[in-house]
Structure 1
């Protein structure tokens, strides 16, 4: 009996290429982190990664990335819904603009966002008038992460929403369910898995984002210094061991969050298959 994996010949060779590719692009760089950090004593490692400045950087990076991912999950779902369910002038243009953060150099995005959200900027003047410092603050960092993260959510949800069977919604309407109940009981359960995937991707991108954040953050010690900036600072000082130590902590925390999200997705898929 022919198994699915045997449809394409040379499976063992293809598998070897995949492992070689992953080793070259993922495992070797991760191993380099460990190699550099291994030259530090345990006490030095703990002291380095638990320094108050570093801890503040972790909290700021993860807090802003989480806030941006949550906002993107809400508005990304809304954007995907509008692009799939409605027809309006400029729809194709809007759909194309969703991918702009992918194509735009991060430094250009950072400069543009800073120009817009400083106190006398086109948008920043309204934030500052309301007492909200939109630049050189955690708010500005979150805005930048929203900008770079929104495509992940939209592009994760959009194809699933497009392929949903409309007959299920029609059946719910015939049985007397209102629009909100139909969305909550029929549509939204199908979107949870791609929504979590988009959230995870946006969150992961936000944690490591540097170029678009470094300009609008202001980089004030103990206030707006993100963890990737602290890593860059250590590298500029040729302190590769300290940079690797901070990177390992960031990597470990990111993997933990992603494992939790993936575990929840697996749990949902198992429940749906029962």
Structure 2
């Protein structure tokens, strides 16, 4: 009889599938079922209304810029935490996880206080003509704050396991720092970067609590899709809320699927090159 590596695997798998169905699949299924109760024409009229389209534009554009910022800053932060020793390193490392522990509404209030026209950061920025609070820029900052840990915590373990001998070998062959980073390290980091970027973007798309306080929530200008969905729920228009939410849900699934395909290709390329 073949020995099982994981005793109780059938039971563990059953519990896992039941939990996934209960916590993940059931709410998503209920949302899609409610959206499907609308006719095709009615569904299209709701999701393509001018106000809804404006929220898609604000949400997706802000999430894209926030993710691009996190991609650069998150990679740099992970690099510093792995490669350098400095006073307060453990504190900085712990602060990376702060958005996970901090209630998003508290984060939104704190960011609004800091970036308001009379806030610590907002006042000097306003003096040079840059307004943050109640503008799309404020939405981007809130999204970047809440989604930064996904990139840092995804890339950090890969950097820690990266063999220094690869860099030393490239240096011994006369490669420059830029060549070492782009040709030696980046192919290894790419799958983790893609995974972290997709998670960061998906989190930014669905963020709500940290944004509504700093956004100003002006229809057609700073109103995000999650807020419009919430407004429809307060109006007891559950079908419209489900239809609008389904657009972001489908977009997130498509984005994750494309990212997973790209990540698989990057992994195959890395394995073949080794």
TM-score when normalising by structure 1: 0.95
- Map 1:5-44 to 2 at 5 A: 6-44=4-42
Q: 1:240 aligns with which of 222, 238, 246?
A: 238
Q: Could you list the per-position Cα deviations for residues 119-173 of structure 1 after superposition, in whole angstroms to 9, with x for gaps in the alignment?
A: 1211112322232221101100000011111111111111110110011111111
Q: Within 2, Cα distance between the matches of 1:172 and 1:38?
A: 56
Contact 2:147 2:200 in 1 (8 A): yes
What is the match of residue 264 of structure 2?
266
Unaligned runs of 5+ in 1: none
Q: Within 1, Cα distance between the matches of 2:32 and 2:78?
A: 40
TM-score when normalising by structure 2: 0.95
Counterpart secondary structure, 1:177: coil
Q: Within 2, Cα distance between the matches of 1:178 and 1:271?
A: 23
- Offset of 1:2 from its aligned partner? 4.6
- Map 1:121-160 to 2 at 5 A: 121-160=119-158
What is the match of residue 76 of structure 2?
78
What is the match of residue 161 of structure 1?
159
- Offset of 1:45 from its aligned partner? 0.9
Q: Could you list the per-position Cα deviations for residues 226-253 of structure 1 after superposition, in whole angstroms to 9, with x for gaps in the alignment?
A: 0000010001011111111111111011
Q: 2:250 aligns with which of 241, 249, 252?
A: 252
Q: 1:209 aligns with which of 202, 207, 210?
A: 207
Counterpart secondary structure, 1:171: helix
Q: Within 2, Cα distance between the matches of 1:88 and 1:213?
A: 33
Q: Within 2, Cα distance between the matches of 1:175 and 1:197?
A: 31
- Offset of 1:95 from its aligned partner? 0.8
Q: Within 1, Cα distance between the matches of 2:120 and 2:9?
A: 56
Contact 2:187 2:270 in 1 (8 A): no
Contact 2:132 2:138 in 1 (8 A): yes
Contact 2:187 2:266 in 1 (8 A): no
Unaligned runs of 5+ in 2: none
Counterpart secondary structure, 1:87: coil
RMSD: 1.4
How many pairs align? 272
